[in-house]
Amino acid sequence: MSRLGNYLRDRTGLGTQAATISGGASFAYVFGWVLLFLLLTECVTGAALAAFYSPSTASAWASVAYIQDQASWGWLVRGLHHHGGGAIAIVSGLHLVQTAVFGAYKKPRELTWWIGLLLMGLILAWAVTGYVLRWDQAGYWANKVEVGIAAGTPIVGDKIRALALGGNEYGNLTLTRFYMLHVIALPALVALGVVAHLVLARRHGSTPLKTTTTTGPRWPDQTLRNALAMALVFGALLGYVVSQHGVELAAPADPSQSFDARPLWYFRWLYELRVLAGSFEKLAALAAPAVVGGILVALPIFDRGEDRSIRARRKFVIGTLALLGVIAALTLSSFIRDADNDEREDSMEKAEARALHARSLAAINGVPATGALDVFKTAPMWKARTLFEQLCKGCHTDGKDRLGPLIEPGHGDRAWLRAFLADPSGTAYWGHTLLAKDTAAMAPVELPAGDRDDLVEWLHAQSGANDVIPAKRDRGQTIFDKACDSCHSRQDGTAGTSAPSLFGLGSRDYYTSFIGNPKAATHMGDDKSEMPAFQKDLSLLDRDALAEYLVWLRTATKQDVDAIGPL
């Protein structure tokens, strides 16, 4: 081991000089190292995510959902990557506060300070470029706002927008551009900045807390403190990520469905400032970062002199802390504002339900190659439920405008048939139709309970259901022939004398035919039906889909309907 060590020392020159720290090792010096560690964590987790991510509008969301819900430990890596960014924002903030309060930016370390500020800006930009990549509602709409603000820059605004979006509108080029920035350009720039920052920090050494002549070794005394701090920060990060099961993923980006987006939490102070600025929002959003950045850049220029004691630099320390205090207060205020907003809470709950629905469909069915939003169409009977929503709901579900029989779970089952026979003009049945007011309306069927149940069994058997009791059905047919046959028919394609044929009642073919033309002689007959014929507007496939849905609804419960999720 020592021969290898000697070899490496000899060839690389590393470790030949025992590095020392003026004043000895201290936990005060760990921040830079913790930041470096977090940045490396971002690189490592980012590399793994990049092995799964697909930067295209059709598949970006799908690939992130795959990482989150299907790839082993994907949620953990994604969570570490996302919240690691937040940890970097916190630790770099602390690093900055410490440097500012102790005047460590003073000569000869001004350049280190400025490079540090540049790094912070780059890291914030890094986070912005990452947020949009998931192409979900949250990232998409937050990015729209961010690009909108940047587009308000005087003179070059339009150019910035076009370059950011890769053209005139959000699309594939937007994602490939932000992806390039996020995984190539910004990592390279940050790496250069970090190297420069480190070289300068090494050259000038740590700023001693007190003026002292004693020194202590860097290795292992300081290194252990660095490692302990890293372990502490990473432990907290890991704990948070596990408690949150990674990071949320909203529903796929949907330009037609607005979303009350918020920027990443470390930009919330700017968001709040915009809200407060009212009609000056764009100015505030552009000017505030420039003002804060300008003040921080100017600190070493105005705060000169040898004395680094806080007492001697009171106005600078108080000024800097006040500035950061305002930023913290604005951040807090923004979160409080949202917490008090019930309307937002409601819309967020709905958005979350939609997100979970999309993710569960993606996990079960995969996301159609045609685009992430089409994942909703893979839901059971999506087509039929959409058509029902558009064409049937107005007349057939509860509401003041209902004109037809109620269609809800259990429609057409034995209990429904029994209740219908007892009161055909009841409110759930023909009650809302013109037919109910007609003298030709069907009268209640009065039969002994046993006979009635046999008739119900026969009617139920028409649907082709597989739970029919044959003996009851056959008795029911005899009763039909006695009690119903004078008006109805039970022959295929043959109308009754004054009422519909009940052949196949409640079967898929029956519904397909009925929806196509309720006015047909075998169904309601021209004069008795208010329901329009859909054979022109709906294809046979669409009608069949609706019929399938109605058949399913017969045995479904309210819970079943809820379980197949929203549209």
Partner 1 sequence: MADREPDRRGFLKLATCAVGGGVGLVVVAPVLKLLDDPSGKITVTTPTEPIDLGAIDRFQIGAEPTKVEVIAPLVKDAWTAARNVVLGGAWIRRTSPEKIEVFSAVCPHLGCGVGWEGKQFGCPCHNSKFAVNGDVVTGPSKRGLDALPVQIKDGRLRVVWVSYKLDTDAKVLG
Would you give the binding string for partner 1 spanning residues 322-361, x where CB under 8 A is met? Answer: ----------------------------------------
By CB under 8 A, residue 227 contacts partner 1: yes
Q: How far is the CB of 368 from partner 1 (least distance, A)?
A: 6
**For residues 80-119, which are near partner 1 according to CB under 8 A?**
80
From the list 528, 77, 110, the residue with the least C-alpha distance to 298 is: 110
544 near 512, Cβ under 8 Å?
A: yes
Q: Tokens 């780059």 map to which residue?
A: 122
Q: Does 541 bind partner 1 (CB under 8 A)?
A: no
| Cis preceding linkage at 263, omega within 30 | no
Length of the chain: 567
Q: Which of 417, 408, 425 lies closest to 462 in space, CA to CA? A: 417
Residues touching partner 1: how many (CB under 8 A)?
A: 42
Contact mark string toward partner 1, 363..382, x via CB under 8 A? --xxxxx--------x----
CA–CA distance, 409 with 155 (Å, rounded to integer): 61
Query: How far apart are alpha carbons 452 and 423 in whole angstroms?
Result: 13
238 binds partner 1 (CB under 8 A): yes
- Residues numbered 196 to 225 that lie near partner 1 (CB under 8 A) are 219-221, 223-224
- Minimum distance between the CB of residue 17 and partner 1, rounded to whole angstroms? 17
Distance of closest approach, residue 172 Cβ to partner 1, in angstroms: 15
Contact 549, 504 (CB under 8 A): no
The helix (H) or strand (E) run that includes residue 131 is helix 110-131
Stretch that binds partner 1, among 48-56, 265-273, 335-343, 414-422 (CB under 8 A): 48-56
Lay out the site mask for partner 1 across 269-288 (x = CB under 8 A, - = otherwise): --------------------
Give the residue ranges of DSSP H helices in 423-462: 449-461
CA distance 246 to 231: 19
Q: Identify the residue whose tokens are 């994602």.
A: 175
Structure-token pair, residue 374: 């089409």
- Looking only at the bridges linking them, the beta strands covering 215-217 and 20-22 are antiparallel
| Minimal distance, residue 134 CB to partner 1, in Å | 13
Span interacting with partner 1, options 46-54, 104-112, 203-211, 491-499, rule CB under 8 A: 46-54
Q: CB neighbours (10 Å) of residue 512? A: 21
With respect to partner 1, which residue has the nearer C-beta, 366 or 394? 366
Q: Which residue from 156, 191, 195, 231 is in contact with partner 1, where contact means CB under 8 A?
A: 231
Whole-angstrom distance, CA of residue 481 vs CA of residue 495: 15
Cβ distance to partner 1 smaller for residue 147 or 367: 367
What three-state secondary structure class fits 150? helix
- CB half-sphere exposure, 490, CA atoms < 13 A: 18
Tell me: does residue 45 bind partner 1 (CB under 8 A): yes
Does position 73 interact with partner 1 (CB under 8 A)? The reply is: yes
Judged by CB, which is closer to partner 1: 163, or 228?
228
Exactly one of 94, 162, 228, 236 binds partner 1 (CB under 8 A); that residue is 228
Residues that bind partner 1 (CB under 8 A): 37, 41, 44-45, 47-49, 51-52, 54, 59, 62-63, 65-67, 70-74, 76-77, 80, 219-221, 223-224, 227-228, 230-231, 234, 238, 362, 365-369, 378
